[in-house]
């Protein structure tokens, strides 16, 4: 799509300030997540959900600075968000048409049409979309659709003080992200790579409109290493079932033929 918009999140620039979380909640008037002690370091929101559309993960990673030094660790931060997949499982599973693809190539839930059936929840390979207990409907990041229509950037990207969250045309973001990876490689950070930047790198969803620069395995950031939209496997499932049915039919015919022949003998 010519007007496709998206996010590029550079985790190496994220400082865990949670400005994006706060800006998202303020602009979208989302309820708070409570004031319970989570025992999750500084990560009070824990994960994405119906009332948390941006989630800053605090990840402690062991760091061997010296062979004899124990207990050292480094921080990794990541501002996670709905991926607005090029092939979105939630959209394909929605039976009411409540989930649509906008003119910006983003995936949007129309709350006035959603009936809370939950089919989209189990069809999201990232576990992003969630049902709100108060009204039973599902909610997720809209990529600030109301702001986009007015020519404004999403609240989270506008609030990010380090420019870890980049918003813009997907083509420009892809070019910028590749240049950023090259810069990091030249600085000796060989582990830097892009997650979900294109269909080749993310074949299960045909690419993500909100993609990331990571320096460790996806699982470390609580991202699936091989996300696949469930409907993508439907064809293979039908072919497997057809093959199994054909095999059973052939076995039944063979049994009837040879069994009958042996009986007559």
Do 135 and 44 belong to one domain? yes
CA 242 – CA 98 distance, rounded (Å): 33
CA atoms within 13 A on the CB side of 231: 14
Structure tokens at 169: 């045309």
Domain interval for residue 250:
230-265
pLDDT for 239: 46
For 1-94, where are the E strands, in sequence order? 5-10, 54-62, 73-81
Name the domain count of the chain. Answer: 2
Do 102 and 148 belong to one domain? yes
pLDDT for 40: 59
Do 194 and 234 belong to one domain? no
Do 151 and 123 belong to one domain? yes
pLDDT for 265: 47
pLDDT string in tens for the chain (265-residue length): 778 999 999 999 999 999 999 999 999 999 887 666 666 567 878 899 999 999 999 988 876 555 555 667 788 999 999 999 999 999 999 999 999 999 999 999 999 999 999 999 999 999 999 999 999 999 999 999 999 999 999 999 999 999 999 999 999 999 999 999 999 999 999 999 999 998 888 889 999 999 999 999 999 999 999 999 998 865 554 445 555 555 676 676 767 666 655 555 4
Domain CATH code at residue 211 = 3.30.70.20
Q: Residue 15's closest CA among 164, 154, 159, 158? A: 164
pLDDT for 256: 67
Which residue, chain included where needed, has tokens 């040879």? 258
Do 142 and 250 belong to one domain? no
Q: Residue 125's closest CA among 100, 167, 170, 93? A: 93
Do 188 and 262 belong to one domain? no
């Amino acid at each position: 799509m010519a007007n496709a918009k998206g996010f590029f999140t550079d985790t190496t620039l994220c400082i865990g300030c949670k400005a994006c979380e706060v800006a998202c909640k303020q602009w979208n008037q989302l309820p708070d997540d409570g004031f319970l002690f989570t025992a999750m370091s500084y990560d009070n929101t824990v994960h994405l959900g119906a009332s948390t559309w941006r989630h800053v993960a605090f990840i402690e990673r062991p760091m061997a600075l010296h062979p004899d030094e124990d207990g050292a660790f480094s921080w990794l931060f990541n501002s996670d968000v709905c991926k607005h997949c090029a092939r979105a499982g939630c959209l394909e599973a929605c039976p009411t048409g409540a989930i649509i693809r906008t003119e910006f190539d983003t995936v949007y839930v129309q709350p006035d049409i959603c009936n809370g059936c939950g089919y989209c929840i189990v069809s999201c390979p990232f576990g992003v979309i969630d049902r709100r207990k108060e009204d039973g409907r599902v909610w997720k990041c809209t990529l600030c659709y109301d702001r986009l229509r007015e020519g404004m950037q999403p609240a989270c990207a506008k609030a990010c003080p380090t420019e870890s969250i980049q918003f813009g045309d997907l083509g420009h973001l892809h070019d910028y992200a590749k240049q950023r990876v090259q810069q990091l490689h030249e600085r000796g950070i060989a582990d830097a790579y892009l997650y979900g930047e294109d269909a080749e790198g993310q074949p299960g969803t045909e690419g993500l409109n909100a993609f990331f620069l990571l320096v460790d395995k996806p699982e470390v950031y609580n991202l699936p290493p091989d996300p696949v939209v469930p409907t993508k496997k439907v064809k293979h499932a039908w072919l497997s079932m057809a093959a199994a049915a054909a095999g059973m039919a052939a076995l039944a015919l063979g049994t009837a033929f040879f069994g009958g022949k042996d009986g007559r003998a």
